[in-house]
Amino acid sequence: MKKTDAIGIFDSGLGGISMLCTLSSYLPNEKYLYYGDCANAPYGTKSREEIKERCFAICEELIQRGVKAIVIACNTATSACVKELRKAYPQLSIIGMEPALKPAVIHKKNQNVLVLATAFTLREKKFSDLMSLYEHEHRIYRQPCPKLVELMESGDFHDPQKVDDALFEYLTPYQDCNIHSIVLGCTHFVFFKKRIQELCGNHVEVIDGNMGTARQVKHLL
């Protein structure tokens, strides 16, 4: 393993490109190898075993290509098997992602937070454990958004009407909940961040975990 080796990044499809963009801006002198598993997207509707099988196959491919670290640019894949991957490949730094709940509530009181993620991420113990750290003081709402993943993978994210129809479906139920912040718990959703901000207004903070993950990559390397 050399300093000049690439950082491997993978996702269930196109969403992790948002993480790649953040990393390449934050660490511009690194080399990157991106694996988008579009043929098997989405992961959010698959079983844990199916997701694990794909993640191990992808990691084997990246390791064969000589990466010095692997970023799981997918909250769903992280929830499914990040511990198993770290145990299987102790020679590597393996960095996962989780919904950025902490930045949404840190140094604040009585926050109403809406977490947008895949159904798999929201029902997993990993996310329940994360929620338990903050739900005694804050109100946390969970909303799965499968159509946003589908829009990205199909290329329909360029269609403003289809995007707005999906966002209205997921956001309208919370319009009377006095939401303070929205957490984007899927890298696919970062591509809709600007539109979500426009629809919700500047009084709502829209947060993703990409920069926090990039800082962790730098720290570990």
DSSP 8-state assignment for residue 6: P
Query: Per-residue confidence at 1, pLDDT binned at 50, 70, 90?
Result: confident
Say how far apart CA 108 and CA 137 lie, in whole Å: 10
pLDDT in tens, 198-212: 999 999 999 999 999
| Residue 181 pLDDT exceeds 90 | yes
Do 112 and 178 meet the contact criterion of CB atoms below 8 Å apart?
yes
Alpha-carbon distances of 182 from 25, 98, 214, rounded to whole Å: 24, 14, 20
pLDDT in tens, 98-129: 999 999 999 899 999 999 999 999 999 999 99
Residues 6+ apart with CB under 8 A from 9: 16, 19, 20, 23, 32, 33, 34, 35, 70, 71, 73
Do 152 and 74 meet the contact criterion of CB atoms below 8 Å apart?
no
Q: Are strands 112-117 and 205-208 parallel, antiparallel or unpaired?
A: unpaired
The yes-or-no answer on residue 145 being catalytic is no
* Residue of 55, 59, 74, 145 marked active site: 74
Strand partners, 182: 114, 206
| Residue 2 pLDDT exceeds 90 | no
Do 9 and 71 meet the contact criterion of CB atoms below 8 Å apart?
yes
The yes-or-no answer on residue 38 being catalytic is no
* Residue of 55, 81, 186, 200 marked active site: 186
| Residue 220 pLDDT exceeds 80 | yes
Do 48 and 101 meet the contact criterion of CB atoms below 8 Å apart?
no
pTM of the model: 0.94
